[in-house]
Amino acid sequence: MKAASVLALVAGFLTVTESKIYTRCKLAKIFARANLDNYMGFSLGNWICMAYYESHYNTTARKVLEDGSIDYGIFQINSFTWCRDKRLSEKNYCHVACSALLMDDLTDAIICAKKIAKETQGMNYWQGWKKHCDGKDLSDWKRGCDVS
């Protein structure tokens, strides 16, 4: 009986940590339905490009930074300012648990990303976007994805 309980517990952890890696076109469709195209003046290509360079479209991407904070999810949203993890010093401006940013359902991550774009310097918050997407022709990012 005890072995079965342990096995069930381990299986539960495996399903929680299983990552979803979206395809470019699936993400383009999700982002288009979430009205990210031209949100704050940034085309859909900007959002797709940024998500690629931040997380490679991986919902469970996590990066621990030098200051001890953690970037979470497909948009790599930082725990110190934007979401709540185990520490008490966070600002949690998105009013969301950081763990919610790791879900396959991107609703909370998209809401938070919109808030970041609106309340900071647009997409300049994301280093991946600044380095790889800013000022580039991004039309190829949604090409062939059946989004308008």
pLDDT in tens, 88-112: 556 899 999 999 999 999 999 999 9
What's the whole-model pTM score? 0.85
Chain CA centroid to CA 135, Å: 22
pLDDT in tens, 104-136: 999 999 999 999 999 998 999 999 999 999 999
For 19-141, give the CATH class: mainly alpha
Strand partners, 78: 71
Cα separation, 89 vs 35, in Å, equals 32
Residue that has been written with the tokens 């699936």 in this structure: 26
Q: Which long-range contacts (CB under 8 A, 24 or more apart) does 130-134 make?
A: 131/53, 132/49, 132/53, 133/45, 133/46, 133/49, 133/50, 133/53
pLDDT in tens, 37-57: 999 999 999 999 999 999 999
State the pLDDT confidence band at 19, using cuts at 50, 70 and 90.
Answer: confident
Q: Which residues are catalytic?
A: 54, 71
Strand partners, 97: 84
Q: What angle do CA 9, 13, 16 make, to 5 degrees?
A: 135
48 contacts 55 by C-beta, under 8 angstroms: no
